[in-house]
Structure 1
Amino acid sequence: MFNKYILNLIIFTTYLAAQQVEIDNIRPIAHVDLGACNDVWGYTAPDGHEFALVGHRTGTYIFDVSTNPHDPIEVGFILGETSSWRDLKVHGYYCYVTNETGGGVDIISLEDPFNPYKVGSHTSSTPTAHNLFIADGYAYLVGSGGGLGGTPSWQGIIILELSDPENPTEVGRWEETYIHDIFVKNDTAYACDIYNGSLFIIDVSDKTNPTTMVEHNYSNYGCHAVWVTDDSKYAVTGDEESGGYVYIFDIQDFNNINMVATWYPDEPQVQNKSVHNVLIKDDLLYISYYVYGTRIVDISDPYDPIEVGYYDWYPGQQGLYSGNWGVYPFTENG
């Protein structure tokens, strides 16, 4: 019988042991073994052609995944600083890449995605950053290596204006605490303070003066990643720690935020394992859950999240931060 949750999946991994794969309602169509990958994003060309942008310890890979989805074609590799952390986001036909070693934010042109090239780097704001998010023509860098006014490094949020995409301009900062991950929508930033277990909600309508609206502290440590539902009524966080789970919050009233659900996979050692990143497309939550692979959860009823598919390629359950670091569900072809 047809199941609407059956999804195609192209896997970019560090290692695959086929005899140990666990799978449900996902149809893997390709596997590319690149070594030490750290994140993945996507780019859709104006003609609809899809490309995978893969962060690697040594740089950024670009793959054509439309010509033959069963055999992705490498069309470019942009060498970068060697780093265990590399995150990528797209604005127009540019890919912006952060790392935690140095060299600033790499800027890669995808104008001709079959011949990508690095146009330069933004270094004036910070030499490093852990992650970034792009919304409405602005890039929000977090976990950066450059504080202002005597503040310590690895602070807050740096906001870059991208009207000249090859030459971003810093327009503002928010530096109340270290931020590890961020999601921005409708001039509102949802920011993860991992070290104190808090979700900050910040008004960024004035990019030169971001203002905290609320700090929702729900644990002592762990708030690692966040995404918000399409209707902006619920926020989903992932806590990166031993026993770190997925949490769903009702955020309709910033003065009365309530946790409505906790989710974790039905696995025997889950209380000693960690989730990594969370992303939402329509009513589905896509999770990179480290040793438990890619998990897909139906959150149409946020009070009752239900797993509808998974692909766990990681052999066994050893390690806390081993396995799947990233997943990208936003391809336009489904």
Structure 2
Amino acid sequence: MTNDHLPKAEYAKNMRLIGYSDQGGRPDGVQIMVNKGHAFIGHMFSQGFSVIDVRDPRNPKPVAYVPSPPNTWTLHLQAHDDLLLVVNAKDLYRDAVLMDERKYYVGSMSDKLGLQAEQSYSAGFRVYDIKNPAAPREIGFMPVEGVGVHRIWYVGGRWAYMSAMLDGFSDFIFLIVDMADPTQPKIAGKYWLPGMNIAAGEKPDWDDKALRYSCHHGLVSGDTAYVTWRDGGVTLLDIQDKTAPKLIAHRNWCPPYGGGTHNALPLVDRDLLVVLDEAVLTDCADGIKHIWLFDIREPSNPISISTMPTPSEIDYVKKGGHFGPHNLHENRPGGFVSSELIFATYNNAGVRAFDIRDPYRPVEVGAFVPAAPTRILDHRPGIPPILHANDVYVDANGILYLTDMNAGLSIIEMTG
């Protein structure tokens, strides 16, 4: 595909499109990993994951699609060296009640699942050998009793970190998993916010009909896990003992802010933590969300010191769909790693790059808003044909790989 035939961007600043793929006719992308010259992409609606050969980023080629078991989500995945970890969970967007995003995001998940007729699905995560990245080969599976696993953090070695909704809990909690034998992963430790273990008789001290306290996932640096909890904010956990995570600090700003805390990126060389709140409701019904910068010099007392500037070159609220942050590039080993340049997806405002050399005054230095999707795979009623940029991975050469809910894979380079 030549540049003349690439989709025309809605907006660009210091970025340009160099490659595009409809992912083999499955343009619904969620998390993306680039490893061994191949992009591994979890799907939102196509129930499986795809592999795209991106050794030439200007000419991406779909090379594999691995379907999930029936009624099973494979939204998120992690690739490192020769291993690929892929989540399995109940496809919650196949349930009539949860097709309403307000029902999905507002209040605890366990209350809503009680309304649903049970379906057959796979819950846990699968491990694939990707020595040959174009032909993933399943070698292990860790089942869980419950809804399943949502998101994983794995950068090699013995330990993986994930969120999972297990039977007996109100929503997703934080798990530490022993990967010593990748063919037989085992849960080593668990952490949840007090009030979530309903099987043990715990009672929430929050309004669980209006707020959703649910672990999204955690990133790990050294012996500290930085774990996000949607409407429950962020926790710093001491995980030196993998079987018994201990709370260092918990911060929550919902209310008065709108919650949806999605991921927390530690920049330990600068004693900073980037925390992103996800925009989850159409037309900003959950308010304008922010990307926060915290000072973590004293880990027991994280202090918010600034927010990233909100895109404003057009009225993105009026544009429709979701406007606001979704996900951060997470500085994975082998990819682009920086404590000064931060990348984030922004739903209908595409992807943004922020310079945080002055942590008290972050500056937007790049932006790219791809073309709107030409077809909508989202089967939920009333979904507008609007861009919903999902995830971004930046490789070691600074090339951005951007997925979208319906609009395929955009491959972008910085020009400024």
Name the TM tier (shorter chain).
0.7 to 0.9
1:109 shift after superposition: 1.4
Question: Any conservation in 2 of the 1:65–1:73 contact (CA below 8 Å)?
Answer: yes
Aligned residues: 308
1:277 pairs with one of 298, 302, 327: 327
Q: CA deviation at 1:321?
A: 9.1
The answer to whether 1:140 aligns with 2:161 is yes
Equivalent runs, 1:198-213 vs 2, <5 Å: 198-213=233-248
SS at match of 2:134: coil
Question: Could you tell me the TM-score, scaled by structure 2's length?
Answer: 0.68
Q: Distance in 2 between matches of 1:203 and 1:321?
A: 41
Q: TM-score scaled to structure 1, two decimals?
A: 0.83
Question: 2:89 maps to which residue?
Answer: 100
Corresponding residue to 1:160 among 146, 153, 177: 177
1: CA distance between counterparts of 2:27 and 2:230? Answer: 28
1:325 — aligned with what?
390
Segments of 5+ residues of structure 1 without an aligned counterpart are 1-15, 45-49
More strand by share: 1
Of the candidates 43, 65, 74, which is equivalent to residue 77 of structure 1?
65
Other structure's SS at 1:86 match: coil
Give the drift of 1:289. Answer: 0.9
Does structure 2 retain, via aligned residues, the 8 Å contact 1:105–1:127?
Answer: no
- In the alignment, the residues of structure 2 paired with residue 277 and residue 267 of structure 1 have an alpha-carbon distance, to the nearest angstrom, of 20
Select the structure that is richer in helix. Answer: 2
What percentage of residue pairs aligned between the two structures are identical? 23
Cα distance change, pair 108–201 in 1 and its aligned pair in 2 (3 A): same
Q: Deviations over 1:238-272 (max 9, x none)?
A: 11233111111111112332211112222444568
Alpha-carbon contact 2:38-2:53 (below 8 Å) kept: yes
SS in 2 for 1:327: strand
Residues 173 and 61 of structure 1: is their aligned pair in 2 closer, same or farther, counting only changes over 3 Å? same
Please report how far the alpha carbon of residue 298 of structure 1 lies from its aligned counterpart in structure 2 after TM superposition: 1.2
Q: How far 1:235 sits from its partner (Å)?
A: 0.8
Q: 1:310 to 1:235 in 2, by over 3 A?
A: same
> Shift of residue 93 of structure 1?
0.8
Give the aligned partner of residue 43 of structure 1. 35
Once the 2 structures are TM-superposed, how far is the Cα of residue 174 of structure 1 from its aligned partner? Answer: 1.0
Equivalent residue in structure 2 for 1:308, among 359, 365, 383: 365
Q: What is the Cα-based RMSD across aligned positions, in Å?
A: 2.7
Tell me if structure 1 keeps the 8 A contact 2:48–2:73.
no
Shift of 1:108: 1.8
Q: How does 1:245-264 map to 2 (within 5 A)?
A: 245-263=290-308, 264=310
Matched ranges for 1:50-199 at <5 A: 50-56=37-43, 57=45, 58-66=47-55, 68-81=56-69, 82=71, 86-101=75-90, 102-103=121-122, 104-124=124-144, 128-135=148-155, 136-142=157-163, 144-147=164-167, 151-176=168-193, 177=196, 178-196=214-232, 198-199=233-234
Point out where structure 2 has 5 or more consecutive residues left out of the alignment: 91-120, 197-213, 332-336, 374-382, 400-416
Q: Which of structure 1's runs of 4+ aligned residues deviate more than 6 A? A: 318-321
- 1:146 and 1:230 map into 2 onto residues whose CA distance is 31
Q: 1:83 to 1:89 in 2, by over 3 A?
A: same
Tell me if structure 2 keeps the 8 A contact 1:291–1:314.
Answer: no
Provide the residue aligned with 1:12 in structure 2.
none
Letter in 2 for 1:88: L
SS at match of 2:154: strand
